[in-house]
Structure formats: structure tokens, C-alpha cells
Structure 1
């Protein structure tokens, strides 16, 4: 215990002396998290694939390394699930998960649905690991705006 305190004190003194920059745990670790939900797609083309794809969730990786999202699940409050297949989100990258149909790329994934997922007034997005462990949640409750920054 005394050795641990001595080492911590030495690190603190070194940091104050400008010898070592100690990042906060959040800065050091980063995270994979929900970044933005665009829940009220624009236009009057209700139900068209272009309108469905204007509804999306963005997931950002702020860790210092690429993260495999294979088996991770994005789910809304009504239990509409999107499960990532083999996919790796690069460090510092963002992936957009669109509701409609399209061809998956490294920056955009498609749920392949023929109707909307995200309610226009109130909903909750949850990102889970394959084990079911919650990684992040983001809720909104507004009809005044079309999106939510998480």
C-alpha cells in the first residue's frame, strides 16, 4: 500500500513538473458510443427507400484502436434490432446505420427495412455487445428538432 502511494505521488509530482502528461481515464481509454440519431427524416416521400435512409444512427469510436462490432446490436425502445455482421470500426471513425436498403460500406451500414424504426417524438437507442452488455444509450423526447446529438 505504501509503495502504491509513493508511486502515485511520484507520478503526480512528475506531471506537475511537466515531465509526464497524465491523461484522464476517459481520454486514455476512449469509447465506442452512440453519437447522433436522425429520427425524423425530411421530405414528403413517406416510406420511400430514400426517406428511410435519411433516418439513421451514428456510432463513433474514440478509442485508440479499431474495434470489431461483430455481433453488436443496435436496438430501439420497441425492440427493432440491427445486428452487426463482420465489421470493424476504425479508430477515430464513425459508422452510419441507415434504416432502409443499400450496399454496406466501411462508413455506412443498412438495416434493410421497409418501414421506419425511430419514432419521431420519443425513443431510446441502445448499443449492446454480443453478450448483451449495454455499451451506451441515447434517448430523445422532442418533436421540435429532427435529430439528437448523444
Structure 2
């Protein structure tokens, strides 16, 4: 059984991700703990930077991927409704009628990817927000069959599965947010926040003002649900703050609009201040 999902999350324009805090406890055994962290099954205490530094980094690898290796849709709680039906029932704007063997008829749904209302379940797909192929690329190839099945049918995380129009889901296919964004621009930031659960490479992303002046991110990577602040003027870049390092600022501090685009030039979001404060999305 799946409960209805909560309301949408807030947006952080420059970073695209909802701010979060990583907690770690520093003690006097940091060096020893760092040596132990690779041993499976052990609990250690060490600074979060040390823990992150020891995470293995590998290139994505799609070798051997086949969608059938992620068994879905299943009836995990044996109530007669499989995962697809559970999501459809939970996300319906107008509840469908449920017949024998959980056959659904009628009802209405909202597809946030393309800002459409859809009548009847046949026009809907259930999308894995993080595609199965992406999961495989990032390590699911080493999971057991049971772990891949659990991932493909995850009803415990409201971000995992979403009912959307079949057209928008098939347009997305197995792409991640670097190559595909929802046609509905107002949903893009929320989509990126929900879909991105790993480091985001902002290299080549741009902020542009109303007069066409552009700031380009260089060598900036964000951990999931972290933020980066872009400052006018000169300063020393850190993991959370970057500086334009130029006398001619990209935007007017009194009033302007900053437009964010990814490295492929796709519009992500914009924000205004001064006489035209707010989002124009």
C-alpha cells in the first residue's frame, strides 16, 4: 500500500538542489578510522571530508545492462495491486474505479513533466525518476537480483516513482538531468532536485544577465542536496562559494534577472530582484 505523496519542494536557483546538512563527529581517532572505513560491516567515526575522500570514484559502465534485470511490476504486499497500480491510485487527482484483480478504470492524473491532465490510466507510464539504466551504470550491476527488484518497485520513497504521460516518459527514456529535462519548465528544478542523488558536474553551466553578460561555472561539482553561492567581485573559490573575479559584474545588484542554463544551453531556471523581483518561469 502506498500513501499519497506530499507537496512539492522548495527551489534553490543557483544550485538547483534543496540545501541539506551533512553531519559527522570528529574525534581523536580520525587517522585510524580513515584506515578502517573500507572494511565492510564496521562503524567508524571520522570527519565527513575524510569519509568523502575515501569513496571510490569510477566511470559509469553500462556493460551487460538489460531492463529485464530489474523485475517489475510486483505486488509486494500481496493486496492484489502491483507497483504500477499502487502509484496510480496514490497519485490520482480523481480516483479511478478499482475492479477485479485491481483493474483500474476512469480517474484523472496530473503529469508534471509536461503540465497535462490525463484521463484514464492507459495514457500514463510510471517513471523511475532515476532511470534503471542510470542505476546500473552507477553500481546496480553489482546488486543482487532481489536488490534490483526492490529498487525498481520502491514505494517507500516518494521520489522514486512518478505517474507521468507516456509521451513524456518515453521522451526521457534512460536519460539523466544532464541530457533531458521536463518540457514543463516550471517543474525542472524540482525534477533535478529529486532525480539527482549523486554529484552534479556544473562545469560549463552559465548564469546570464539581461544584457547578455555571462558567468560560466568552471571546475564546480556539487554533492547531492548541496548548494553553491555565486558572488560578484573577487574572492577565493571554495566548494560552497564561487566568485566572478572580474571588475565588470555579470549582473546589476540593484535590479536584474539571472538565467541559469546547463552546459547544453538548456534553460533551467531564472530569478529576478529589484523592480522585477521573483521567478519568471
Deviations 1:9-51 (A, max 9, x none): 2445699xxx94452557xx7536xxxxxxxxxxxxxxxxxxx
Deviations 1:76-124 (A, max 9, x none): 1111111111210111111111111111111111111214443345321
For the aligned residue pairs, the C-alpha RMSD in angstroms reads: 3.6
Q: Which ranges in structure 2 are unaligned for 5 or more consecutive residues?
A: 1-72, 74-80, 92-153, 163-186
- In 2, Cα distance between equivalents of 1:129 and 1:117: 17
Structure number having the greater helix percentage: 2
Q: Would you say the 8 A contact 2:83–2:155 is kept in 1?
A: no
Q: Is the aligned partner of 1:8 residue 2:169?
A: no
- In 2, Cα distance between equivalents of 1:14 and 1:133: 32
Q: Would you say the 8 A contact 2:215–2:250 is kept in 1?
A: no
Q: How far is 1:66 from its partner?
A: 1.6
Superposition TM-score, scaled by structure 2 size: 0.33
- In 2, Cα distance between equivalents of 1:149 and 1:81: 20
- What corresponds to 2:100 in structure 1? none
- What corresponds to 2:270 in structure 1? 137
Q: Is the aligned partner of 1:65 residue 2:65?
A: no
Kindly indicate whether structure 1 or structure 2 has the higher relative contact order, using CA contacts under 8 Å at least 6 residues apart.
1
**Bigger-Rg structure (1/2):** 2
- What corresponds to 1:112 in structure 2? 245
- In 2, Cα distance between equivalents of 1:62 and 1:10: 21
Q: Which ranges in structure 1 are unaligned for 5 or more consecutive residues?
A: 33-60
Kindly report which structure 2 residues correspond to 1:12-91, keeping only aligned pairs within 5 A, or say none.
20-21=155-156, 23=158, 25=162, 30-31=191-192, 63-91=196-224
Q: CA separation of 1:14/1:127 partners in 2, compared to 1, >3 Å: closer, same or farther?
A: closer
- In 1, Cα distance between equivalents of 2:195 and 2:231: 21
Q: Would you say the 8 A contact 1:95–1:108 is kept in 2?
A: yes
Structure number having the greater strand percentage: 1
Superposition TM-score, scaled by structure 1 size: 0.57
